[in-house]
Structure 1
Amino acid sequence: MLVSTIVLMVAAVLSSIISSFFPHFSINYISIFVGLIIGLVSFLNGRIPPFHTEIFMYIVASLIYFEGQSTRINLIGKRLRQILETAVLLVIVGTVFAGFSVSLLGIPLALAFLMGALSTPTDTTATESVSEGLIVPERQENILKMESLFNDASGIILVTAMALWVKNGQFNYQQTFFDFLRSAGGGIIIGIMAALVMISFRQFLGRINHDAYNAQILLFVSTPFFIYFIAEELKVSGIIAVVCAGLMQNSESIRSRFITPRQFHNGLVLLRLLRELLNNTIFVILGLLVVRIIRDDLIIGNTNSQWIVIGILLYITNLLVRYLYGLLSKMGNKGSIIFALGGVHGAVTLALVYMIINNVSSAQFDMIVLAEMLVIILSMGAFNRISLYS
């Protein structure tokens, strides 16, 4: 595990170095390419063991927590209706349309809906990585940011429900609804309570020992892991918990930025560093997984390329649903196109895929990974077209 972590961290740093020489290429593409190279080099590939759901979810939880810290909490109240529409309604509608579309290819309805649910949650960090240098209208930028912060939780609930549908052969609508309320409500409570405890402890530590700067930094870095672990142990949404905790932390840091300006500045630097490192690591892993899956399929003779059609269909369906939502929300044609293209997928999608590994067969899992990988790549590439409309 230690060697694996070192290899992935070095690959993530290497991606940043290469990206500095090619500023017009998204760092996500470069990270995927580095992952592909690692997968093709047997010596390096052998140093990285198979991945597990928990690894991805802890990385994603940290990314979302740090993203929440860069979001002003007062925006939540102003955009509550839009958050509910994009994080809940849009996810459900996107899942339904994508599921029925994929089922037309002969895929069982339950499996088609599962792939549809996996393709709906968006990723703020991935969006920012591919939007650097682009001009995005403020309204669409704020909506996209709020959407990607909160649609992960609804995506997780839907994916879990669809995975159980695939496994058990039936879909329990009522249970899914109550699970969502329990998971989201519990996540909000745990996130707020945990954030208050951590903030109070850091402030207390600063008052009794002004030299405890390093201890506060370590506490800051470990906070999302701690909160996510507690929430998941209590069977509520760890993702919602870290989002709420991140927003609370932002509110506290804004108030204290003039009291401890050096610490506030260093915190921002550390925040950007951690986000880039974790995001790069996710896309390095994605490139590595593509090599491993395609290699294994070639070895066992399973060369079905249906995943290409499925991935394209999933992305186009979501694109149309998002565009129609933009029109219904009176964003106008140009604003609707920007909102549709702005639904970038990334680490969250990959983490959700690994959540369902025990609910599908090996062949189905490989097809899902490759299809969702294509959705991620298409969404990142299409987002660059925003420069034509902004």
Structure 2
Amino acid sequence: MLHDNLILILILLLGVTLLVMVGQKLKISYPIFLVLAGLIIGFIPGIPHVKIDPDIVFLLFLPPLLYEAAWFTSWKDFWEYKGGIFLMAVGLVIITSMAVAYASVAFIPGFTLALGFLLGGIISPPDAVAAAAVLKGLKIPKTVSALLEGESLVNDASSLIVFKFALVAVTAGTFVLHDAAIDFVSVAGCGILVGLAIGGIFYAIHRWLPTTENIDTVLTLITPYFMYIVAEHFEGSGVMAVVSGGLLLSSQSHIILTSSSRIKTVSVWSALIFLLNGVVFILIGLALPDIVAGLGPDYPIGRAIGYGVGISVLALVVRFIWLFSTARITKIFNKKSRVRYQDMTWHSSLVIVYAGMRGVVSLAAALSIPVMISDQIPFPLRNLILFITFVVIFVTLVVQGLTLPFFIKWLNIPAPKHKLSEQEQTSQIKLKLIDLSLDKLKADYQYQCTHNELMVNLKAELQHSLIEKKDTLKAFKAGQIDQVDLKAYHEIVLALIQVQRDELHHLKSNKNYDDDIIRKEEWRLDLEELSITSSE
């Protein structure tokens, strides 16, 4: 049995990897392509149907996905836009849940208000991974990406809390809004406290115990699971625990991790998150045959699709109204917000509205609905809720996801005038660092800089770099460097790196040079290439 399961897992991982490559060749974002591929594969005769255990999704997949998102979220941006983030991640989730609840009662036969809130909690959180994958490489204002990233960190927690309260209401038959609101705050607060406490413990381990880069990497892998499990044990929000703890440790990463630990950790996490996301998105597609089979004769598939499309449109409309109304009110009554969100034009707001794609959390929540309330009573409309959830995921992820790049291009979002370009920011930062280094040499190493030939050369290199960066900044400000020049420069530098890399490969056969030295030079070239390709 173990042998068979291992083979299935390996086939799944290989399949995901190959499908992602095909998606890249077709220039389709991999979450969208994997869902479509899973959907097609799931209906092939003879292919075994996949049953997804929601506990596995929540416990195995969710903690690392959230932790990685929190780790790479800018704390500065999160704090800068905290008002907008919480209006979207908490306020919008509640409003969307309410709208879906009352619309479901009005238009879907058999739906109660509790079932409506249950469905609302399921489909209210947009998926961060899908939006990030679709938006990758597209030119959007920093405010847009900061709001979407911040929203995705918090909205999973708020939507799952709404979902859990609605689930209790369905099974117990009672729902008190006042009690639910108090519980909402206590569950979220407990999760945050647990996350910060566990984060503090791991901070101490990284900071004061004799760790290595391998130990640091392993510790980062187990940290989110401790946060999630402990918070859930104390009836807090595991999601909020992972997010708050992840933000805490990320903000202190320059203190608790060495440079080698940071490099290795990022490499390991990048591969892990790629695999987890790939598996989850293809499982979404593979799950549909079972969901369709469970729909039953009471709700014809055409009518059920109509319900799902209607809920998708409703969620989009609510997102549009909420975002534009809260943005308008905030700018009117808060002078600081007018400055903070000055690059948030109506174009940018529409991108945020349209980027609300659903995914992993929505499907996992729907699948976690119990089949039976008790030994005698089946859970009402469970299969219909599952099907509607899948339709919402399909419409928002596939339809909106495929059209989002064209939508952004059509909007022609104006570049923010009050911010420096990425290249100017890089040049300014490097200029400050070189200046600081020269000051340090002058203050503490004056003698060495005149008597040590290596130090003399180092100082000369820094002074030359200083002049070079100043000239580059002047050229940017004078408009002498445009995107065409920059692209040509990057292409030439990459060509030079490739020439050097080829030469290093030839030097491996030369007995005068150790492989360890050659690998270090290859690593230097890799980092240099990464600094260019990551900014494109």
Per the normalisation by structure 1, the TM-score is 0.88
- Cα distance in 2 for partners of 1:278, 1:82 equals 29
Aligned residue in 2 for 1:373: 390
- Cα distance in 2 for partners of 1:28, 1:57 equals 18
Aligned residue in 2 for 1:338: 351
User: Judging changes above 3 Å, is the alpha-carbon distance between structure 1 residues 168 and 67 closer, same or farther for their aligned structure 2 residues?
Assistant: same
Paired residues for 1:209-224 under 5 Å: 212-224=212-224
User: Judging changes above 3 Å, is the alpha-carbon distance between structure 1 residues 177 and 363 closer, same or farther for their aligned structure 2 residues?
Assistant: closer
User: Judging changes above 3 Å, is the alpha-carbon distance between structure 1 residues 234 and 7 closer, same or farther for their aligned structure 2 residues?
Assistant: farther
Amino acid at match of 2:285: G
Secondary structure at the counterpart of residue 358 of structure 2: coil
Q: Report if aligned partners of 2:372, 2:379 keep a CA contact under 8 Å in 1.
A: no
Pick the aligned partner of 1:382 from 397, 400, 411: 400
Aligned residue in 2 for 1:29: 32
User: Judging changes above 3 Å, is the alpha-carbon distance between structure 1 residues 364 and 9 closer, same or farther for their aligned structure 2 residues?
Assistant: farther
Q: Report if aligned partners of 1:135, 1:387 keep a CA contact under 8 Å in 2.
A: no
Q: Report if aligned partners of 1:87, 1:150 keep a CA contact under 8 Å in 2.
A: yes
Paired residues for 1:1-390 under 5 Å: 2-3=5-6, 5-22=9-26, 24-40=27-43, 45=48, 50-58=51-59, 59-107=61-109, 108-110=111-113, 111-205=115-209, 208=210, 212-255=212-255, 260-297=258-295, 303-328=300-325, 329-330=327-328, 331-358=344-371, 361=378, 364-380=381-397, 381-383=399-401, 384=404, 385-389=407-411, 390=413
Q: Report if aligned partners of 2:125, 2:361 keep a CA contact under 8 Å in 1.
A: yes
Q: Report if aligned partners of 1:164, 1:359 keep a CA contact under 8 Å in 2.
A: no
- Cα distance in 2 for partners of 1:172, 1:6 equals 48
User: Judging changes above 3 Å, is the alpha-carbon distance between structure 1 residues 121 and 55 closer, same or farther for their aligned structure 2 residues?
Assistant: same
Q: Report if aligned partners of 2:216, 2:265 keep a CA contact under 8 Å in 1.
A: no
Amino acid at match of 1:246: G
- Range 100-109 or range 181-190, more displaced: 100-109
Q: By how many angstroms is 1:92 displaced?
A: 1.0
Q: Report if aligned partners of 1:15, 1:280 keep a CA contact under 8 Å in 2.
A: no
Q: By how many angstroms is 1:362 displaced?
A: 6.5
- Cα distance in 2 for partners of 1:11, 1:83 equals 36
Aligned residue in 1 for 2:530: none
Runs of 4+ in 1 over 6 A off after TM superposition: none
- Cα distance in 2 for partners of 1:14, 1:202 equals 37
Secondary structure at the counterpart of residue 252 of structure 2: helix
- Cα distance in 2 for partners of 1:223, 1:5 equals 24
Secondary structure at the counterpart of residue 292 of structure 2: helix
Q: Report if aligned partners of 2:70, 2:243 keep a CA contact under 8 Å in 1.
A: yes
Percent identity over paired residues: 24
User: Judging changes above 3 Å, is the alpha-carbon distance between structure 1 residues 104 and 28 closer, same or farther for their aligned structure 2 residues?
Assistant: same
- Cα distance in 2 for partners of 1:174, 1:326 equals 26
Per the normalisation by structure 2, the TM-score is 0.66
- Range 190-199 or range 126-135, more displaced: 126-135
Larger Rg: 2
Q: By how many angstroms is 1:147 displaced?
A: 0.9
- Cα distance in 2 for partners of 1:233, 1:316 equals 37
Matched length: 380
Secondary structure at the counterpart of residue 104 of structure 1: helix
Q: Structure 2 regions of 5+ residues with no counterpart?
A: 329-343, 414-536
Spell out, residue by residue over 1:18-55, the C-alpha distance to the aligned partner (whole angstroms, 9 max, x if none).
Answer: 23322x21101221234235534566526x5x322211
Q: By how many angstroms is 1:185 displaced?
A: 0.6
- Cα distance in 2 for partners of 1:191, 1:345 equals 25
Q: Report if aligned partners of 2:78, 2:146 keep a CA contact under 8 Å in 1.
A: no
User: Judging changes above 3 Å, is the alpha-carbon distance between structure 1 residues 235 and 7 closer, same or farther for their aligned structure 2 residues?
Assistant: farther
Q: By how many angstroms is 1:247 displaced?
A: 0.7
Q: By how many angstroms is 1:249 displaced?
A: 2.2
Which of structures 1 and 2 has the larger relative contact order (alpha carbons within 8 angstroms, sep 6+)?
Answer: 1
- Cα distance in 1 for partners of 2:108, 2:400 equals 27
Q: By how many angstroms is 1:289 displaced?
A: 0.7
